Structure 1
Amino acid sequence: MKLPTFYNYRDFSIKANPGARGLIYLKPRLSFAILLILLCSFTATSQETVSPSPDELKKLSVEELMDMEVTLVSRSPEKLKEVPSAIQVISADDIRHSGATSIPEALRLASNLQVAQLNASAWIISARGFNTVFANKLLVMIDGRTVYTPLFGGVIWDMQHVLLDDVEKIEVISGPGGTLWGANAVNGVINIITKNAKDTQGFYMSLLAGSFIKDQAALRFGNKIGKKMHYKIYGQHFDRKASFHNDGQKNADAWRLSQAGFRIEYEASAKDNLTLQGDWYDGTRKTPGGNSDMNGQNILARWNHTFSEKSDLIVQLYYDRYFRDDIPSLNSDELNTVDLDLQYGLQISDHHHLLAGLGYRNVVDHAISRTSSVGILPERRNLDMFNGFVQDQISIGKRTKITVGTKILHNVYTGLELQPSLRGSVNVKKNNTLWLALSRAVRTPSRYDVDFYLPTMPLPPTSPSVAGGPNFVSEKLLAYELGYRIQPNTRSTMSVAAFYNVYRDIYSVEALPGTLTYQIQNGSRGNSWGTEFTGTYQLLKNWKAKLGYTYFDKKLEAKPGHTFNPDYLGNDAKH
Structure 2
Amino acid sequence: MSFGSPSPRSSLVLALIFSPALLADDLFLDNDPLPQVLTATRLKQSPAAVPGSMTVIDSELINASGARDISELLRLVPGMMVGNINGNQAAVNYHGTNASEARRMQVLIDGRSVYRAGLATVDWSDIPVAMEDIERIEVFRGPNTVSYGANALMAVVNIITRNPADSHGTRLKVTRGQRGINDFYASQGTGWDGGDLRLSLSGQQDDGFDSDRNGADYRDSRRLDRFNLAVSQTLNESQSIDWQLNAKDGTNQRPYTYRPVFSGITAAGNNSDVVAKDYAGSLRWNLDINPDHSLYIQGSAQHWDRQQTWRACDAEVSFSPQLTDLWQLNPNYAERLARNMERYTGSGAPAGTPAEQALGNQVLEQWKNGARQTLCGDIDQSARESRYDLELQDTLSLSDSLRLVSGMNYRYDRADSETYFNGTLDDTTWRTFGQLEWRASEHWLLQGGAMFEDTQLTGSSLTPRVAVNYLINPRHGLRAVYSEAIRSPDMFENNVNWSYQVTNLRPSAYGQTSARYFVKTRGPGDLDKEHMRSRELGYNGFFAELGLAVDVKLFYDEITGMISEPLRNNQYIASNANNSRFTGTETQLDWHVSSVDRLRLTYAYVDAKASNPLDQQQTARNSGSAGWLRNWGQGWNSALFYYGDDALNGYRFERIDTRIAKHIGLGKANLELAGVLQQRLDNQPTTFVDNNYDERRVLYFSAELAF
Name which of 265, 279, 295 aligns with 1:313: 295
Task: Give the alignment's Cα RMSD to 1 decimal.
Answer: 2.4
The 5 Å alignment of 1:490-505 reads 490-505=546-561
Letter in 2 for 1:79: S
1:417 aligns with 2:399: no
Cα separation, 2, equivalents of 1:555 and 1:110 = 22
Deviation at 1:399, TM superposition (A): 1.4
Name which of 560, 568, 571 aligns with 2:618: 571
Shift in alpha-carbon separation, 1:381–1:453, aligned structure 2, 3 A: closer
Cα separation, 2, equivalents of 1:281 and 1:509 = 31
Shift in alpha-carbon separation, 1:419–1:235, aligned structure 2, 3 A: same
Task: List per-residue Cα deviations over 1:246-297 (Å, max 9, x = no partner).
Answer: 8764310111001112111111111001111111111011112332101021
Cα separation, 2, equivalents of 1:442 and 1:239 = 37
TM-score, with length taken from structure 2: 0.66
Task: List per-residue Cα deviations over 1:465-486 (Å, max 9, x = no partner).
Answer: 7542211111100111110112
Shift in alpha-carbon separation, 1:492–1:285, aligned structure 2, 3 A: same
Cα separation, 1, equivalents of 2:31 and 2:187 = 28
Determine the structure 2 residue equivalent to 1:232.
198
Determine the structure 2 residue equivalent to 1:325.
307
Structure with the greater alpha carbon radius of gyration:
2
SS in 2 for 1:94: helix
Determine the structure 1 residue equivalent to 2:610.
556
Letter in 1 for 2:298: Q
Determine the structure 1 residue equivalent to 2:127.
160
* Count of aligned positions: 490
Q: Is the 8 A contact 1:129 1:552 kept in 2?
A: no
Q: Is the 8 A contact 2:429 2:456 kept in 1?
A: yes
Question: Using CA pairs below 8 Å that are at least 6 residues apart, which structure has the higher relative contact order?
Answer: 2
Determine the structure 2 residue equivalent to 1:21.
none
User: Percent identity at matched positions?
Assistant: 23
Cα separation, 2, equivalents of 1:351 and 1:405 = 16
The 5 Å alignment of 1:211-230 reads 211-225=178-192, 227-230=193-196
Cα separation, 2, equivalents of 1:426 and 1:327 = 58
Name which of 474, 477, 484 aligns with 2:532: 477
SS in 2 for 1:108: helix
Letter in 2 for 1:298: A
Q: Is the 8 A contact 2:534 2:558 kept in 1?
A: yes
1:450 aligns with 2:505: no
Determine the structure 2 residue equivalent to 1:22.
none
SS in 1 for 2:125: helix
Determine the structure 1 residue equivalent to 2:408.
358
Letter in 1 for 2:391: D
Q: Is the 8 A contact 1:314 1:342 kept in 2?
A: yes
Letter in 2 for 1:574: R
SS in 2 for 1:104: helix
Letter in 1 for 2:412: N
Deviation at 1:413, TM superposition (A): 2.1
Shift in alpha-carbon separation, 1:141–1:74, aligned structure 2, 3 A: same
Deviation at 1:162, TM superposition (A): 1.6
Letter in 2 for 1:149: R
Cα separation, 2, equivalents of 1:213 and 1:78 = 43
1:342 aligns with 2:392: yes
Deviation at 1:448, TM superposition (A): 2.1
Determine the structure 1 residue equivalent to 2:253.
286
SS in 2 for 1:522: coil
Letter in 2 for 1:230: D
SS in 1 for 2:240: strand
Deviation at 1:464, TM superposition (A): 8.6
The 5 Å alignment of 1:60-209 reads 67-209=34-176
SS in 1 for 2:253: strand
Shift in alpha-carbon separation, 1:491–1:568, aligned structure 2, 3 A: closer
Deviation at 1:502, TM superposition (A): 1.7
Name which of 388, 391, 397 aligns with 2:435: 391
Letter in 2 for 1:431: R
Gaps of 5+ in 2: 1-29, 256-270, 311-378, 502-508, 510-517, 623-707
Shift in alpha-carbon separation, 1:433–1:293, aligned structure 2, 3 A: same
Q: Is the 8 A contact 1:437 1:481 kept in 2?
A: yes
Q: Is the 8 A contact 1:125 1:131 kept in 2?
A: no
Q: Is the 8 A contact 1:84 1:424 kept in 2?
A: yes
Cα separation, 2, equivalents of 1:547 and 1:445 = 36
Cα separation, 1, equivalents of 2:46 and 2:388 = 32
Letter in 1 for 2:99: T
Cα separation, 1, equivalents of 2:131 and 2:49 = 28
Q: Is the 8 A contact 1:176 1:188 kept in 2?
A: yes
Deviation at 1:493, TM superposition (A): 2.3
1:439 aligns with 2:483: yes
Deviation at 1:174, TM superposition (A): 1.1
Determine the structure 2 residue equivalent to 1:372.
none
Moved more, 159-168 or 135-144: 159-168
SS in 2 for 1:95: helix
Cα separation, 2, equivalents of 1:368 and 1:425 = 51
Cα separation, 2, equivalents of 1:345 and 1:351 = 14
Cα separation, 2, equivalents of 1:273 and 1:393 = 26
Shift in alpha-carbon separation, 1:487–1:296, aligned structure 2, 3 A: closer
The 5 Å alignment of 1:25-44 reads none
Deviation at 1:454, TM superposition (A): 5.8
Q: Is the 8 A contact 1:389 1:408 kept in 2?
A: yes
Determine the structure 1 residue equivalent to 2:282.
300
Shift in alpha-carbon separation, 1:509–1:174, aligned structure 2, 3 A: same
Q: Is the 8 A contact 2:79 2:606 kept in 1?
A: no
Q: Is the 8 A contact 1:467 1:520 kept in 2?
A: no
Shift in alpha-carbon separation, 1:327–1:141, aligned structure 2, 3 A: farther
Letter in 1 for 2:114: V
Deviation at 1:157, TM superposition (A): 1.2
SS in 2 for 1:244: coil
Cα separation, 2, equivalents of 1:537 and 1:214 = 33
Q: Is the 8 A contact 1:173 1:189 kept in 2?
A: yes
TM-score, with length taken from structure 1: 0.81
Cα separation, 2, equivalents of 1:541 and 1:327 = 55
Letter in 2 for 1:219: A
Cα separation, 2, equivalents of 1:351 and 1:237 = 48
Cα separation, 2, equivalents of 1:130 and 1:408 = 25
Gaps of 5+ in 1: 1-62, 370-375, 511-515, 558-564
Deviation at 1:330, TM superposition (A): 4.3
